[in-house]
Structure 1
Amino acid sequence: MVKLIAPGTVLTTAVILGLLNAALLLWLALSQPWLGVSLHGDPDTGRAVALSVDPAGPSRALPAGAEILQIAPQRGAPVALRAADLIEEPDMLGSGGAMSGFFARQSALHSALSGGEVEITYATGTGSDPMNLVVTPVPVRPLSDLPIAFWTQLLVALAGLWFGAWVLALRLHDPAAWMLSLAGLGLALAAQAAALYSSRELALSLPVFGTASRINGIGTMTFGIGMVTLFLIYPRRLVRGALTALPALMISAAIIWMEFIQWPRFVPMLQGLVALAMLVLLAALAVQVWVNRRDPRARAMLGWFGLSIALGAGGFVLTVIVPVLIGQPPILAQSTAFLLFLVIYAGLGLGVMRYRLFDLTDWSFRLLFYGLGMGMMLGQDAVLVMVLSLDHAAALAASLALVAIVYLPVRRRMSGWLRRENPPSAEAMFTEITEIAQAEDRDTRIARLCTLLRRRFDPLSVAVLQEARPAAVLEREGEGMVFPAVDDLPAIRLQWAMQGRRLFSSRDLNASRRLAGVIGGAIDQHRTYRDAVNAERGRINRDMHDNIGVLLLSALHSSGVERKNLLIRQTLSDLREIISNPAHESWDLARLLADLRAEIADHLDAAGLALDWQAEAPPGVSLSPRRAHTLRAFLREGVSNLLRHAGAGTAMIRITASGTGAEAALSLLLADDGSGFDPDHIRPGNGFVNLRERVAQCQGSFSVQTDAQGTRLSATLPLSAADRKAQP
């Protein structure tokens, strides 16, 4: 069995991992010896200059603008300071030898700063005599001393990780989502590592710096693997099989060679490899544009997401990588250029919002906002505990309050702005569906259905289809959607959702299927209701004909006042029973037969006919209201026809119970000695038709036999378990 992972679990895991990595990064950045000096390396002169000095730091006596010549530990050789020691990205030094020397000097400087007092030799101007200043570095760097570049790169890292996890959480089985998530992970690794060493005060230890440098290179190329492979398979697969994995295999081999086997000898080649990966990415984008030129959804996606990647990743390469490759300084500092990657994720958000990029729908934003809120709360809690030294419970309470007061209202407004949809309420939908089901004719139902679909999806056009379309489908990658045929209603094609502001998505498809199911169920229920009403009307009509009609006819022809009154009272009693039939309890068979014998004998005696009655009623047998009415109607309608048409002198009635258990049944026979009738020339009236229907509804059988010796009506009524159960 495949274990399903909830989207919230994936995103929550990514948020927690991102915050843990950020906490580790912050701890490493703060666990470095601190001089309290902001240093700048001038690549033209090769000098290292103190741009500013913290007035509360260990080097507060150092004048701002002084050139730092060397730093000497208490024991060991002094280390001369060069502008290259302050370079933001060591990959840009240009050669493996320069990088090896750089890391050796970083290790020596870090050891000097970590060993206690150091002597700083500096000069205040050209030609001035060097001066010395003894300082004791603080073992922990203050949080306030971390530059803005550190925080911007950390922001980019979290954005890459969390946005990639956001898409992956909702599309766990989509290779394109995995590639986007892989690119986000690579960006997170590269940006976090760069945040650590590019914003250092002076030096890091070789284990920390070397590891961060490797992670930065691995992350950069992982981003390339993810993005190149993404556009090889999305929105249309350009390659298949082993060719899909070729970029990943080639780049992975280069990573292993440069970052592990030959580090740092060939690390400067990373700049060229990044530029090459960018060219391959742009080529894949161009091919996707060409092969999808007739696909409006893909064109829209490439317009938003492809352009954002070209601007974000391409802008980084053009402002940082290309100048270094041609021997020029970067146009933008690497820490600043990392902000260009946020353009990618802005394009991702816009693509999801407007064109359902990666087939994500509105609820994906709710999941994203949930993750951001959780990250905000955890981050605030950590800051309050570490920086303000609040109690854990107080910090958590304050974080929850800030999220509730600030974030939740903002999230609600952002969600409304992003969705920009106003579907009808559940109450309105229910009312409209009910009106569709209750419409008297098909054309009215179709018109009401079209109105409902306009209100729900707000399409540019609605067209009724002639061909049968039993299933809801998306057409032309979301340009149109077919609402399926329901019952006798035709399929309907909708074009361009939300008045053309977006394409139809799988969310709309699922909504159509659910809506069609509800409408079909409502129509079935209304039809069942109408059938039940018609059946009840038919029952009342049959009872009026078979019972009330017989009694009133007998009263009409009765000459005695007492008998006439008796028949009218019985008619009223039967009329009340007909109206309230569903609420009646079962009839005891013996009592019912006794009443019917007295009633029929009275009718026949008044007409001068003899009655031959034989009936058996097994003890404890009762009849349901339906069977009791059927038995009564059989005898009354049969006797009424006999009196009016048979010309007979005797009526014979036989009622017997036969069989046991599930085979138990009541056999009915009404025969006369009249002249009969010719069934080929005389059509049976409504009485026989009603009797046949009544008996059939009781799962019984009914037959009529006639000849010159008389007419025989016979019926069989099965007895259910409830009929056979003795009454208390």
Structure 2
Amino acid sequence: MAPRQRFLLIAVVALAAIAISAQVALSSPWLGLELSPHDGPEGLRVDRVHPDSPNAGVIRVGSVIVGLQAADGRQIPLHGNLVMEEPDLLSHTDLNLFMKRQTELDQALRSGGARFVLASGDQVPVVAIDTPWRQLSGGFSIHTFYGLIALLVAVGIWAFRPKSAATRLYALSGVATMVNTLTLAIYGDREFVLSGDVFEVVSAVNHLATLMVNASLVSLFWVYPRPLARFPVPALMICIALIMWVLSELQVGESAQVTVYLPIVVGYVLGLCFAAAQWVASKGRPLERAALKWCVLAIFLGSVLLMGLVIIPPAFGHPPLVPLLVGFGAYLILYLGIAAGLVRYRLFDIERWWFKTWLWFAGGLMVLVLDAILIMGVGLTSTYALTLSLAIAGWLYFPLRQWLWDRFGQRSSISLNEALRELVDKLFSASTEAEVRRAWPDLLRMTFQPLSLEMPDAPDKKAAVAVSADGVLMELPALPGDTRRASLEFASNGARLFTKEDMRVANLLYDLTGKALQALQARDAGAKKERSRIMRDLHDDLGARLLSLVYATDTGTVREVARSALRDLHGLVDTTAGTPASLLEVANGCEGEIRQRLTDSGIELDWQADPMRLSDQELSARAAANIARILREAIYNIIKHANADRVEVTWSRDSDHLLVRVSDNGKGETLDGQGDGHGLRTMQVRAEDLGGRVDCRVLAEGGFVVELTLPAA
């Protein structure tokens, strides 16, 4: 079954259950009166007469009703507990009497002819009708709303993750909560009377649902975020809940306090123990730790209110501190909070206010505890005790809270000062854009200490820093002029998730680094402009003079030196201009120069270069100039030292390397025999500048070879 079909099916069943519950609630007799226990030993006081009441004008507000006389003359005494919202707080003996009285009153009112006996001794006729629909718009609707929200949230998550033990337990708690609130809406919002038979069934179902809610939520912390052990705790908890329910129906013990409320309190404590064990087990797993934090917060903010105000007081023999309608509103906090933890929605926000929430909770608890100590222990009046407890909290707790926040709450925050100091140091020491780009990943590592940092190519450019919904991943866009974005996973070496504060700092670092690159680009542009001006002056002034010298001199040696100087000047100007060239263009340019020089020296040239293999590689101006100068130096050494009559220059390229080989058939002197070796060292330096190397050796058959090897791309 598809997830939406599961969800729709449960929703339809829930609506049917609501309709049945509404029909049961509407079947109870309605008098149109608001009754409350009388201050005396017995009787009910009339607090309000509804305008549409069938008894309007007959019974006055303030009247005290002490009994109901049936049409057959039977006298049924009325006690204050008949309008109790939760009658299972009574002992089993009193509860059985309560149910008997409910049945007698229901029969007497439905039979007609009944009369109320007032404390004054007067008797007034009473008329009961079926409960109008509009009476369901109050407490019944609110209770139903609580349960429906819990059910839809829990089942909505389970429908898409039906195989997860955590979502199954959560769905069970949602179903049980729906049943709990529906049954409570039937008998808790009754006006006065509900048939004892119906009351007993509804109350029994309510007890079972209450125990199941507790068992499923306690078991949830055994399996989530990860199973604590292979022991079947969820099945055991559900079995215990069923056993306690059976004991409750058998009326074991004095009251439901023993078989229902006390087990719920024990289960709550056990759930806290499971949560503490999960906290230890999730160490080093920030995503699980964040989900656990969220769920624990939901449990404390929701169930502490529910347990403290509604469940715990009856467990110790006291009535609930607030009406059930108010107390069960905590279900919304509990279920929506746990749902957020289970689906792991925007968990990075929790890092910011998790510690603050606990400090807030501790502050309120401290005021309450101090107030209780001053009243019960010291004997102060409530007014003085509250004033003094607030003063103590203000003088002691708030400074302590600030210290705790500074000491622990910010322990995972970013040292922005250190990050900015490192950034400034890098920027002021960097002389090129490449240095800034190389420093960028190191700056991110130092600032955020991610568990992993990758720099993948970005197919599409993102305009801003982004954090994933679960806070695990933070991505920064590529720096201007780059194609690689930064992808960081788990902050603080995996100890926490990324937060909005991380996003703010990352945006600041990104903007500052971008400004630094712009500054370097502006500086380089200015330097390039100045170099271009100098090169133009050299070309126009010095170049013209060298050219005049070439044509004006009659000495061949001087003419050759002038031509060589002119070629070097042109190469220097081209390199400075930064104009790229293809490998084939560089080879052709070198061939023309080398052929001319060797021809003038009476040396034959064998030039081997495949244009098809050289045309598709582009070289920078610097690479082109270095290759030309290496070949020029090699040819110069041959002319000056080799005493050769034939030179072979071969260009070859594969997928990884470019190889230029210059060999001669000369006398084959070793490196030591070729001058002072300065030219060979210069060739090696130029090759290393391009990431390559120059190898020189004497050939066995005679002659000398120089091999230039460079990366192909």
TM (norm. structure 2) is 0.54
Q: How many angstroms apart in 2 are the aligned matches of 1:600 and 1:666?
A: 22
Bigger mean CA offset, 624-633 vs 47-56: 624-633
Q: Contact 1:221/1:274 (CA < 8 Å) preserved in 2?
A: yes
Match of 1:327 in 2: none
Candidates 85, 89, 94, aligned match of 1:88: 85
Q: Which runs of no fewer than 5 residues in structure 2 stay unpaired?
A: 284-288, 355-408, 431-435, 454-490, 554-558
Change (3 A) 1:40 1:451: same
Quickly say closer, same or farther: Cα 1:20–1:31, change in 2 above 3 A. same
Selected match of 1:587 from 584, 587, 592: 584
Q: Does 1:222 pair with 2:212?
A: yes
- Which of residues 174, 180, 183 is equivalent to 1:193? 183
Distance 1:17 1:577, change over 3 A: farther
Letter in 1 for 2:54: P
Matched, 1:319 2:313: yes
Is residue 270 of structure 2 the alignment partner of residue 274 of structure 1? Answer: no
Does residue 653 (structure 1) correspond to residue 647 (structure 2)? The answer is yes
Deviations 1:293-332 (A, max 9, x none): 999x99x999997799678525545533443xxxxxx544
Partner of 2:597: 600
Q: Quote the residue 2:393 is aligned against.
A: none
Q: Is the 8 A contact 1:186 1:220 kept in 2?
A: yes
- Could you say what secondary structure the match of 1:587 adopts? helix
Deviations 1:670-709 (CA, angstroms, capped at 9, x unpaired)? 42646835638976335455258649969898433279x9
1:198: Cα distance to partner?
1.5
| 1:248 aligned partner | 238
Please name the residue that 1:101 is paired with. 100
User: Contact 1:157–1:190 at 8 Å: present in 2 too?
Assistant: yes
Please list, as runs of the form range in 1=range in 2, the aligned pairs for 1:153-172 lying within 5 A after superposition.
none
C-alpha separation between the residues in 2 aligned to 1:631 and 1:450? 35
Partner of 1:121: 115
Cα–Cα, structure 1 residues 310 and 131, in superposed 2: closer, same or farther, change >3 Å? closer
Post-superposition Cα deviations, 1:221-251, rounded to whole Å, max 9, x if no partner, equal 1244246557888999998725664343122
Structure 1 residues 173-212: aligned runs within 5 Å? 186=176, 189-204=179-194, 209=199, 212=202
Count of residue correspondences = 563
Deviation at 1:218, TM superposition (A): 1.4
Please state if 1:561 is matched with 2:552.
yes
Stretches of structure 1 that go unaligned for 5 or more consecutive residues are 113-117, 324-329, 369-419, 458-468, 473-492, 496-502, 723-728
8 A Cα contact 1:638 1:670, kept in partner: no
Identity across the alignment (%): 15
2:51 to 50, 55, 60: 55
Q: Contact 1:227–1:281 (CA<8 Å) still a contact in 2?
A: no
- The SS at the match of 1:62 is coil
Give the secondary structure class of the aligned counterpart of 2:236. helix
Which of 694, 698, 705 aligns to 2:698? It is 705
| Aligned residue in 2 for 1:612 | 604
Alpha-carbon contact 1:39-1:202 (below 8 Å) kept? yes
Contact 1:154 1:192 in 2 (8 A): yes
> 8 Å contact 2:549–2:562 — kept in the other structure?
no
**1:67 corresponds to:** 65
Per the normalisation by structure 1, the TM-score is 0.54
Query: Within the alignment, does 1:578 sit opposite 2:568 as a pair?
Result: no
SS in 1 for 2:323: helix
The answer (yes or no) to whether the contact 1:630–1:695 under 8 Å persists in 2 is: no
Counterpart of 2:35 in structure 1 is: 39
Partner letter of residue 213 of structure 1?
S
Tell me, yes or no, if the aligned pair for 1:311 and 1:343 is still in contact at 8 Å.
yes
Aligned partner of residue 125 in structure 2, secondary structure? strand
2:678 to 682, 685, 692: 685
Contact 2:172-2:216 at 8 Å conserved across structures: yes
Contact 1:231 1:285 in 2 (8 A): yes
Q: Deviations over 1:384-420 (max 9, x none)?
A: xxxxxxxxxxxxxxxxxxxxxxxxxxxxxxxxxxxx9
Matches within 5 A, 1:324-723: 331-332=319-320, 336=323, 339=326, 361-363=347-349, 438=427, 440=429, 505-506=496-497, 561=552, 563=559, 567=564, 570-580=567-577, 583-587=580-584, 591-592=588-589, 595-601=592-598, 605=600, 609-616=601-608, 622-623=614-615, 624=617, 626=619, 632-643=628-639, 645-646=640-641, 648=643, 650-655=644-649, 668-671=661-664, 673=666, 676-677=669-670, 679=672, 684-687=677-680, 690=683, 694=687, 702-705=695-698, 712-715=704-707
Contact 1:581 1:625 in 2 (8 A): no
Task: Tell me, yes or no, if structure 1 residue 140 matches structure 2 residue 139.
Answer: no
Q: 2:433 matched to which residue of 1? A: none
Q: 1:715 aligns to what SS in structure 2? A: strand
The alignment yields a C-alpha RMSD, in angstroms, of: 7.1
Amino acid at match of 1:272: V
Deviations 1:151-196 (A, max 9, x none): 7756875797799899999999997898788667655543442233
User: For 1:38, what is the secondary structure of its paired residue?
Assistant: strand
Residue by residue, what CA displacement relative to the aligned partner does 1:578-599 show, whole Å, maximum 9, x if unpaired?
Answer: 2455632453699546623453
